[in-house]
Amino acid sequence: MEVIKLQNIKKSFNDNVVLEDISFTVEKSEVVVIMGPSGSGKSTLLRCITFLEEPDRGIIRLGDKEVEAGLPLNKHRKKVIRELRQNTGFVFQQFNLFPHRTALENVMEGPMIIKKMGREEAREKAVALLTKVGLADRMDHYPAQLSGGQQQRVAIARALSMEPMVMLYDEPTSALDPELVREVLLVMKELAKEGMTMVVVTHEMSFARDVADRVVFMDDGVIIEEGTAADIFKNPKEERTKKFLRDVS
Ligand code: ADP
Ligand code: MG
């Protein structure tokens, strides 16, 4: 079953064409890693999936919700876009936690405000999620009192609290000190094992090798090639992929 289906997505900023004509699908429980040089359009692609950026044209489907880009916003389209967002967990490079709320409050917020869940139920759920990401003893800490790796794990728990159909990660470990990268990747790996569908922009080759079902290599707003991690890392077909792999290793 397809969870995400993108058809012919195009996005420009002024006359800078950032996504050329991207089509791709993600199956349920699939883990897709997107790699590519800086500026190749990876973040824009993730943002387009949830209409954080509206594509100029193309069709985006998440589960049974479909939106065609480039049409005027009406009530129906606004509703579908809201549903797209609510069914997507987004984890950013900069953790984007609410600084004046504890870890627990950060995770309770979405279910309470958006899903109108009662405080006790939201609390129980948040406690379970924070325990799952290894932060049972940090629930009452504020973001500033947590390490980057801990903050990112709170951000993951917060995204999970909305029970998304898919998790989107945009370079989730790039802002972390090297010794904190592993704890975040381990949590992501655990979620993948449980069958969470995810799209991960990352340059962590080991994560791609261990966890990805598919690696997509992007450059200059197009998908250059895709395949298993073994295909892409050991046997890249395209010159641009080969060059990228030489540069990162
Ligand atoms: P990546 O994540 O692969 O590094 P991005 O998607 O961030 O690439 O950026 C792709 C291109 O789009 C870059 O040339 C970038 O400067 C441009 N871009 C991204 N966001 C914006 C924006 N909000 N306004 C104008 N240009 C943007
Ligand atoms: Mg980016």
Q: Which residues line ligand 1 (CB under 6 A)?
A: 13, 16, 18, 36, 38-44
CA-47 nearest atom, ligand 1: 6
Mean pLDDT across 166-179: 97
Contact 155, 128 (CB under 8 A): no
Contact 202, 213 (CB under 8 A): no
Contact 157, 196 (CB under 8 A): no
Query: Does residue 248 carry a pLDDT above 90?
Result: no
As a whole number of angstroms, the distance between CA 110 and CA 116 comes to 9
Q: Where are the alpha helices (DSSP H) in the chain?
A: 42-49, 75-86, 103-113, 119-132, 148-160, 178-193, 205-211, 229-234, 239-248
Percent of the chain beyond pLDDT 90?
A: 98
Contact 27, 195 (CB under 8 A): no
CA-38 nearest atom, ligand 1: 4
Q: Which residues 6+ apart lie within 8 Å of 77 measured at CB?
A: 67, 71
CA of 1 to the centre of ligand 2 (A): 28
As a whole number of angstroms, the distance between CA 152 and CA 150 comes to 5
Query: Does residue 239 carry a pLDDT above 80?
Result: yes
Query: Does residue 73 carry a pLDDT above 90?
Result: no
Nearest CA to ligand 1 atom 7: 43
Q: What is the pLDDT of residue 169?
A: 98
DSSP string for residues in 108-163:
HHHHHHTS---HHHHHHHHHHHHHHTT-TT-TT--GGGS-HHHHHHHHHHHHHTT-
φ, ψ for residue 115, nearest 5 deg = -95, 0
Q: What is the pLDDT of residue 78?
A: 93
Cα distance from N-terminal residue to C-terminal residue, the chain: 35
Nearest CA to ligand 1 atom 16: 39
Q: How many CB atoms lie within 10 A of CB 225?
A: 16
Nearest CA to ligand 1 atom 18: 13
CA of 211 to the centre of ligand 1 (A): 27
User: What are 84's two structure tokens?
Assistant: 């797209």
Alpha-carbon Rg for the chain in angstroms: 18
Q: Which residues surround ligand 2, an ion (CB under 5 A)?
A: 42-43
As a whole number of angstroms, the distance between CA 49 and CA 84 comes to 8
CA of 224 to the centre of ligand 2 (A): 17
CA of 6 to the centre of ligand 2 (A): 19
For residue range 116-172, what is the model confidence (pLDDT) as tens digits?
A: 999 999 999 999 999 999 999 999 999 999 999 999 999 999 999 999 999 999 999
Closest CA to 29 of 55, 47, 3: 3
As a whole number of angstroms, the distance between CA 214 and CA 227 comes to 5
> Chain-wide mean pLDDT for the chain?
96
For residue range 53-62, what is the model confidence (pLDDT) as tens digits?
A: 999 999 999 9
Q: Cα–Cα distances in Å, from 132 out to 57, 148, 157?
A: 39, 17, 8
User: What are 18's two structure tokens?
Assistant: 């950032």
CA of 222 to the centre of ligand 1 (A): 13
Nearest CA to ligand 1 atom 24: 13
